[in-house]
Amino acid sequence: MSKIKTKFKFNNTNLLKAKKILEKYPKNFSSSAVLPLLHLAQEQLDGWLDKSSVEYISNYLNVPLIKVYEVATFYHMFNLKKVGKKCINVCTTTPCWLVGSDSILKRFEKKLNIKTDCITKDGSISLHEIECLGACINGPVIKINNDYHENIKLDDVDKIVKNLKK
């Protein structure tokens, strides 16, 4: 497989982490490390994966680029567009929708003065819709970066936005 020239490279710390991750897999199954390596790349790029980073993982694992994209586009925890430093994801799948996630999303839009899938002008906060976060019993559920918040009420949105803007 021919290698693609990429701008993205793991920094030294992440190169070591990537090596450790690969050690967990049998040599002929190193392609299975695509998921943790995408997470590592996303962490290095402050929450999103650009084209170059996906190509880099493809090269790094010697896996066809389409295979890496299949994973990166399937799981909603990977962002293929730039996100804010604080990335708010509102679950709008049916169980959360039934208990008001649409209103929660609208309240965030109003409070942040942005539309869904947009970033505030200062780049600090972005807002997104997301599929089920696996905590349906406690909906509406939102995720801010890696933290889950459950049973969200409209008033909570105001407090959350206020805290994020501090």
User: Segment near ligand FES (CB under 6 A), from 2-10, 63-71, 88-96, 120-128?
Assistant: 88-96
- From the number of C-beta atoms within 10 Å of its C-beta (0-12, 13-18, 19+), residue 67 rates as middle
> Which of 124, 125, 122 minimizes the C-alpha distance to 109?
125
CB 85 within 8 A of CB 123: yes
Q: How many helices (H) and strands (E) does the chain have?
A: 7, 5
CB of 49 to ligand FES, least distance (A): 23
**CB 150 to ligand FES: min, Å:** 8
Under 8 Å between Cβ of 142 and 88: yes
- Site for ligand FES (CB under 6 A): how many residues? 11
Q: Which pair of structure tokens corresponds to residue 89?
A: 């994801």
Q: Does residue 18 interact with ligand FES by CB under 6 A?
A: no
Options 141, 142, 152, 160; binder of ligand FES; rule CB under 6 A? 141
Does 133 bind ligand FES (CB under 6 A)? Our answer is yes
Does 91 contact ligand FES by CB under 6 A?
A: yes
C-alpha to C-alpha distances, 67 to 16, 63, 70, nearest whole angstrom: 24, 7, 5
Nearest to 129 by CA among 109, 155, 110: 109
- Quick one: which of 35, 45, 118, 136 contacts ligand FES (CB under 6 A)? 136
By CB under 6 A, tell whether 36 contacts ligand FES: no
Which parts of 94-113 interact with ligand FES (CB under 6 A)? 95-96
By CB under 6 A, residue 77 contacts ligand FES = no
Binding site for ligand FES (CB under 6 A): 91, 93, 95-96, 132-136, 139, 141
